Structure 1
């Protein structure tokens, strides 16, 4: 409460500029295994510009560790400055460390588009990945297009269609804003009256107030079917052939599991891993977090995806109370090893392999598709 009052005074009354500095890690970054890439001697390494983020659990420090361990030449690239375009010409590749927030992502989208589409520079993440980053509307369209088991979702930018559909929708509904993590801007719409009041606010001249002081939900709704089941959600993280994940429980008298802080790290269901792998293959990018819930019939439904994973600790999975990761082999075996990695480092290795040493399709044919074609996964846990 004291911090909230302090922020209100500083930002709303005094008007102190929001000039947050790049963060460093609060944990020992070296507690994770090193991620090394087998780089051919005859292949020149790109010169790299590395951006820094202000997230509490920063991405850029993990990228820096990977670059140092694999002997890539890099410099810190300050993309906020007016001379960013001229400075970017010094690099073959720019590694972006996304900050959360619509204003921050908008800046990155504009600049990555120019660098990739107009100047021919390589960027990680690329423009297409960034379109899916923290955008539930865009990612849901993508999931539907690829025939993946996404929970029934009604998205509309038409107020009159919403009024017509409100008697046909099944309540309760989970309303989400396109942007936001940790269950911010997630509400339960229990009946017709609540839906009407909600949509009137959203389609009003000013839109609906959000947790971001400078941003409002305007002229769209995102309603997802409320899944009756265990109450927990499940996160599966994939970066390359390395798979981790955990369960999240909602707090008492709350339906929202994400952001609750109640995390259960134990073995992942085979079906959920298979769904996540199919989604990862369809997305075709370096890393992916897939959030799912299981209904009363035992079927898993995707409720959200995240193409950029941020974690507090490299320990994201435990099997038989042993921390580690699953490694997917071509024969469909999930080999559990007591090894823990930063997903950002794993993703960067995948990006280099897909971009400089092969292609996305060649990489998938080697590392992911053979296991999926077998139709079933087998776990090998052993004495980890």
Structure 2
């Protein structure tokens, strides 16, 4: 039992508990810890948080969450109150460009990637690179906003668009025929809707609506080397001293695995080198929770594709066990939320404020 502790958990309202929060609450109740369920966006939140020993917020990749959650959590950290996730764990969440620079900064083995902030430099790159090549928006989950470009002509369309107009996330048609890709701005499924909105704007001064994911992506280009022959990716999720692993097969007739739901829990298919890499980086960078997606190079070496502090909880729970940092196997299913709470409570009790 952990008496005299009080932890705040964010919830927008009583009916809007996010995916991690229910089992966070369950585990805290088991430990006898007092919980304050709050909307962290309310005006007096800092005064309320000062009453607590820790604060937890499973924020997602919606544009709303990305606008306010990191700012508020960082302010709570400034009070000397531990948070989950902490800043080190989440500042790069759903931002592949940030991850690109982070991987380079710490010499993490990752898929070769390039970021351009200048159109002319991006143009020179696509004139000389090897095809196919992968283009990604910085944001997006479940393989969204990811394209395999097979030629200079296709790449030119993309960089023209992102540097001149920009993309709203989740509007790329990854499964379109190449001809559709070239003329999508003319023969879009939304063409008639755009005409109607234009007429309403001209006549009634009614500004056209914008997509639900309203943070437009513009004035950069992010490319990754295409690694052929990968029929699946390798997901290693590290929580504290625990590394859970499984593989995810690609969708039929596709090169992407994220979001496919085609999971295999055979632990013999998880390269031990990938587990060691994930453990090492999490420890080095102070990650409380991190899912690593690996692909294999042509010589069978695991390299990081992307990382994410949050993930589908049941996918981790269904793992038959985990490896510690010494690669010792521990049998048994564990809810990741229970591991979050156990580690977070230990952090608070140790006096670690980060």
Q: In 2, Cα distance between the equivalents of 1:167 and 1:314?
A: 42
Deviation at 1:352, TM superposition (A): 3.0
Deviation at 1:260, TM superposition (A): 1.4
- Number of the residue aligned with 1:67: 28
Matched, 1:52 2:17: no
Structure 2 gap segments, 5+ residues each: 171-211
TM-score, with length taken from structure 1? 0.74
- List per-residue Cα deviations over 1:207-245 (Å, max 9, x = no partner): 113225423211111111111233211101111222212
Maintained 8 Å contact 2:28/2:341: no
- Number of the residue aligned with 1:347: 340
TM-score, with length taken from structure 2? 0.80
Q: In 1, Cα distance between the equivalents of 2:16 and 2:96?
A: 20
From 43, 48, 60, the equivalent of 1:82 is 43
1:222 to 1:250, Cα distance in 2 relative to 1, 3 A: same
- Number of the residue aligned with 1:179: 139
Structure 1 gap segments, 5+ residues each: 1-37, 318-323, 362-384
Maintained 8 Å contact 2:62/2:213: no
- List per-residue Cα deviations over 1:274-308 (Å, max 9, x = no partner): 22222222222211111001122111111011123
Q: Which runs of 4+ in 1 moved over 6 A?
A: 53-57
Deviation at 1:333, TM superposition (A): 4.3
Deviation at 1:146, TM superposition (A): 0.9
Maintained 8 Å contact 2:133/2:150: yes
- List per-residue Cα deviations over 1:160-184 (Å, max 9, x = no partner): 2111222232221111221211001
- List per-residue Cα deviations over 1:178-218 (Å, max 9, x = no partner): 121100111112121111110111111x4113225423211
Q: In 2, Cα distance between the equivalents of 1:121 and 1:336?
A: 32
Maintained 8 Å contact 1:55/1:99: no
- Number of the residue aligned with 2:328: 334
Q: What does 1:97-246 align with in structure 2 at a 5 Å threshold?
A: 97-117=58-78, 119-204=79-164, 206-211=165-170, 212-246=212-246
1:301 to 1:78, Cα distance in 2 relative to 1, 3 A: same
SS of the residue corresponding to residue 39 of structure 2 reads: coil
1:360 to 1:81, Cα distance in 2 relative to 1, 3 A: closer
Deviation at 1:350, TM superposition (A): 2.1
Maintained 8 Å contact 1:245/1:316: no
Q: In 2, Cα distance between the equivalents of 1:274 and 1:326?
A: 12
- Number of the residue aligned with 1:325: 321
Matched, 1:298 2:300: yes
- Number of the residue aligned with 1:357: 350
SS of the residue corresponding to residue 100 of structure 1 reads: coil
Maintained 8 Å contact 1:57/1:310: no
Maintained 8 Å contact 2:241/2:279: no
Query: What number of residue pairs does the alignment pair up?
Result: 309
Maintained 8 Å contact 2:234/2:294: yes
SS of the residue corresponding to residue 253 of structure 1 reads: coil
Deviation at 1:151, TM superposition (A): 0.5
Q: In 1, Cα distance between the equivalents of 2:215 and 2:81?
A: 31
Greater relative contact order (CA < 8 Å, ≥ 6 in sequence): 2
Q: What does 1:2-81 align with in structure 2 at a 5 Å threshold?
A: 45-52=4-11, 58-81=19-42
SS of the residue corresponding to residue 61 of structure 1 reads: helix
Q: In 1, Cα distance between the equivalents of 2:141 and 2:346?
A: 30
Q: In 2, Cα distance between the equivalents of 1:154 and 1:197?
A: 18
Maintained 8 Å contact 1:239/1:347: yes
1:175 to 1:360, Cα distance in 2 relative to 1, 3 A: farther
Matched, 1:308 2:310: yes
